[in-house]
Chains A and B, each alone.
Chain A
Amino acid sequence: MLELKNVSYEVSDENDNKEILKDISFTIDERFVAITGPNGGGKSTLAKLVAGIIKPTSGRIYLDGKDITDLSITDRAKSGISFAFQQPVRFKGITVKDLIRFAVGHDISTTEACAYLSEVGLCAKDYINRELNASLSGGEAKRIEIAMTMARGTSLSIFDEPEAGIDLWSFQSLIKVFEHLHEKAGGSIIIISHQERILNIADKVIVLANGQIKDMGTRDAVLPGLLMDGPACEKLTEKM
């Protein structure tokens, strides 16, 4: 269970302080929780705060009742938090096998790697010795990022826009990954997404806008209001 109590995050530049997140409080113990809202609303910042990459200006964060606000990234990872980045990080010389090995915490066989890579539609034989460098396409890197989170199988997993750049692979498969991860690890899966199809599987939806929680509740309660919100102009609707 993840709990945020009055969490705020400010950045300051020369002139003033800018509040990216304002007084965020919520509890997550549902299976799938979607965080959505406009770009720049603070979604990725929230994910980074939970993973420990940035520290809140004020407020506390609890995982399974334990205060993790002052824990490092490493200690949070060890306490059971996984974070699939929106933009997968590229390395030089580090292979897919190395990364899965770090994720599971021990040496792995090709068969074991296959269990994770096949979930994201990649053949272990073709990918296990590939370097996670610029030669991989955005979609491939993204799927490997998801497979690593799958391999960790922690009680809390956060996916930041997992659907972005997933090229030929389908949404249906992505949703299966979340289901399998939940079967394996239990706990909660937080998915930051704009995609209606992903929002449709959420047990809970949190809408973040301008750094604040604009709406929060079950899918049935939140989605209708979200879709009615701010109608796109006709031209755009036609093209969509």
Chain B
Amino acid sequence: MSKERTLPKPIRRYGPLAVLGLFAIWTLLPIGWMFLSSLKIRKSMFEFPPTIFFDPTLRYYQEMFVGANPVTPFLVNSVVVALGTAILSVGLGTIGGYGLSRLDLRGKKHLAFWIISTRMAPIVVVVIPLFYIYNNLNLLNTHAGLIIAHTTFNLPFAVWLMRSFFDEVPIALEEAARIDGATKWEAFRRVSLPLVLPGMGATAIIAIVFSWNDFIFALIFTSNQTQTMPVAAAQLITQTGTLWGRVMATGVVILLPMVTFGVIVKKYLVSGLTMGAVKQ
């Protein structure tokens, strides 16, 4: 029996834990620092070396909602746009994904590739013509314009992901329903759809995250009245001096709901972010 090169036992035992621990720290440190900094008064913010112990303040959060320039309208814009695109994408994407899953057609492969290829376009390549079109159709600075823009990436995503969920529903279940006299629509509506409801929820949540986090579309297609949170956050950086406390607090408000969503749909996240290519 050949003697293998092996590491000493303590390393084999604690090595993995050490790697995972370091990776968790590397991941959490910036987020934790952001939370801490959003609670720091101006003086302790700029201390060098940075301080960990300080008198916390909720001033920045308070200013954000009741101050002179509240972010509430931007939050509303973000919610309206995210919900709009999620409803549109998941609504069309669910029936479309079912159709694509059950479709029996030569060249289905090419059709499916074309659908996903619309999502592969670099953001800037979509932005330029849309800007030109919106400029002529007066869609700049409207919620509808941004919802349509976000649907360019959310709809192909929703079709593919929902298709992957429907692919997992055994076709025999639908056939059984059909034998019992159900129409194709009923087989879809009463048999398959209920089985993919969790997947549908996950698709909606991931679509909301994509829309909520978008910056470039929102930057180009919105102005003061329709601005979303990421654009508002970016505008806090000024030449004359940046209120870092406010920036950090705004960042926390932007990330908190999305991180919560991420943890809720964790089970579906890998499928979602790989458009169904990887199953957990």
Q: Do A and B bind each other?
A: no
Which residues of B are in contact with A by a Cβ distance under 8 Å?
A: none
Contact surface of A with B, Cβ cutoff 8 Å: none
